[in-house]
Structure 1
């Protein structure tokens, strides 16, 4: 399970729950399918597969997986059903249906339609890195990541984490990199960026598969635009897009890293998962450390 995005949280106090204890607590909040009148339901499942343990531990890291099931009830279908019902009432009873009654009709129709609605499921993975003091979520959506934190807090009783932050302001640092065409010996610039005008009604310029040293891009920076997203490549071969909140998106592990996993030749899918997880967490530990170093180091003043 190779992560494609990273939202990084910092523990504000040591995380000392063992993998066994974590599994026991998550087992009290397992995933169950939606009931007939439920819009959605979330619970924990095995990161490996339906028959695996709820926690996968290796090398001091522990992975968990949250599954969410939602009933798909398109607004257009509901509105059409409401419209048909309103027309039928007005034709049969010769009166106008008011807004309040229409809302009541809508609520009644939703109750009727929900049990027949299709369901859609999604999984969200995260792993605990207590040695580094991080919780790392495989998501590009802060909303989805925060929902996972809510579920973990419900299961664990508490989860003292805050979004990880750097000592320097990411936008200013990335803008300076692009202006001077340099980052750090551990990273080089990629071929993608997003520039934003800091003004209230400022514009946005997106560059993809572009030479970021081009004169027109530098001119925009000289005129006051700031870099809000930037493609970078680590010396280890990890490519990604970093944004102004230090969310890592479109993460790609290079061939050298993939070859490490392929060289193990495990016998089962579970063993392959373990190999991938072990290599990924070690590579990401180094990557995250180097990434925050680029931004002046991680701000841990709030940590206890």
Structure 2
């Protein structure tokens, strides 16, 4: 009998990390205007001497057509920015530059000035760029006009700003701001573990956190976060900088001190529901996953932000 192997469902639409931005709903264009604007700024690969290129690609998949995908009933739009970089390791440039400088100094019997070295470096990079490998990656973003949120699936604020700057270039302007809070987020996280403040409804503690003070950082994993061990750290005046949480048996994540969400993962329950709905139509599968992420995040974020003291902008 021939063995049957079941391949895992591949899900390209994963939001592993999230950067949050606030925007006034009236500052956003309508769907048709946004679609037209992104089509005017499509992605094109790096030229031979270009270190980086960014541009928009169809939101769901390279084979789809819409640059802005809108799911029924979610009130959100999905966009996807592609970035390509030429990889020139700094060590390689430094080594070759030092070699060229040494050769010229030995030949001419003099020390090169700073301007000459800068010019040599520019010429070297111009020569090396066409031979450099390229690295290409995509960044997804959910735009929620009614909620006044732009959620960028990036692991750093630098990556988040890259996508926002591309939106500004396409639209002309984009008045966004990071969420503001009445007190530092670690103060709320610490109060939750100390029992001085109730956690928001629907959220439960995972088994990982990061506690820190001026003397150093303690990373805890696989431990009861309301244990005596954690309590003793907090009694010494240390505060909780990062906290792992679960929302409604739907999504686990780590809340960071700047309100970013990291290490997001759908629960086994939701992953199982997606698996059970998996069909032969790629776009239906992608749309189902997009809608699940949208609805889950739009339930989670208002509760979370209010519980950590978000103030009106």
Counterpart pick for 2:53 among 41, 64, 73: 41
- In structure 2, the CA distance between the partners of 1:102 and 1:293, relative to structure 1 (3 Å rule), is closer
Alignment-derived partner of residue 235 in structure 1: 248
Q: Which runs of 5+ in 2 are unaligned?
A: 1-12
Report the CA distance between 1:270 and its aligned residue.
1.1
Match of residue 199, structure 2, among 183, 196, 200: 183
Give the match for residue 9 of structure 1: 21
How far the C-alpha of 1:229 sits from its partner, in A, is 0.5
Give the alignment partner of residue 283 of structure 2, picking from 270, 292, 302.
Answer: 270
2:255/2:262 contact within 8 Å kept = yes
CA RMSD, 1 decimal? 2.0
Map 1:279-298 onto structure 2 (within 5 A): 279-296=292-309, 298=310
- Distance in 1 of aligned mates of 2:32 and 2:276: 30
Range with greater deviation from structure 2 (67-76 or 82-91): 82-91
Q: 1: distance between equivalents of 2:258 and 2:108?
A: 58
Contact 1:229 1:244 in 2 (8 A): yes
Alpha-carbon distance, 1:283 to partner: 1.2
TM-score where L is the length of structure 1:
0.90
Q: Identify which of 138, 149, 158 aligns with 2:164.
A: 149
Asked if the contact 2:200–2:303 (Cα under 8 Å) also holds between the matched residues in 1, the reply is no
SS of 1:287's partner is helix
* Residues 15, 130 of structure 1: 8 Å contact kept: no
How much does 1:15 deviate?
Answer: 4.8
Structure-2 change in CA distance of 1:221 and 1:276 (3 Å): same
Provide the rounded CA distance (Å) in 2 between the counterparts of 1:133 and 1:84: 54
Cα deviations by residue, 1:122-176 (Å, 9 ceiling, x for unpaired): 1111011112111111112011101211110110122222112344542111101
* 1:1-304 mapped onto 2 (5 Å cutoff): 1-52=13-64, 53-59=66-72, 60-180=75-195, 183-197=199-213, 201-296=214-309, 298-300=310-312, 302=313
Q: Is contact 2:185-2:257 (8 Å) kept?
A: yes
Deviations 1:75-102 (A, max 9, x none): 1111221222233324434444444433
- Any idea what the Cα deviations from partners look like across 1:9-45, whole Å, max 9, x if unmatched? 1113425523222111001111111122211111111
CA distance 1:244–1:91, change in 2 (3 Å): closer
Instruction: Give 5+ residue unaligned stretches, structure 1.
Output: none
After superposing on structure 2, the runs of 4+ consecutive aligned residues of structure 1 that deviate more than 3 Å are 90-100, 165-169
Q: Deviations for 1:91-122, whole angstroms, at most 9, x for unmatched residues?
A: 43444444443332222111111111111111
- Residues 194 and 227 of structure 1 are in contact (CA less than 8 Å); yes or no, is this contact kept in structure 2? yes
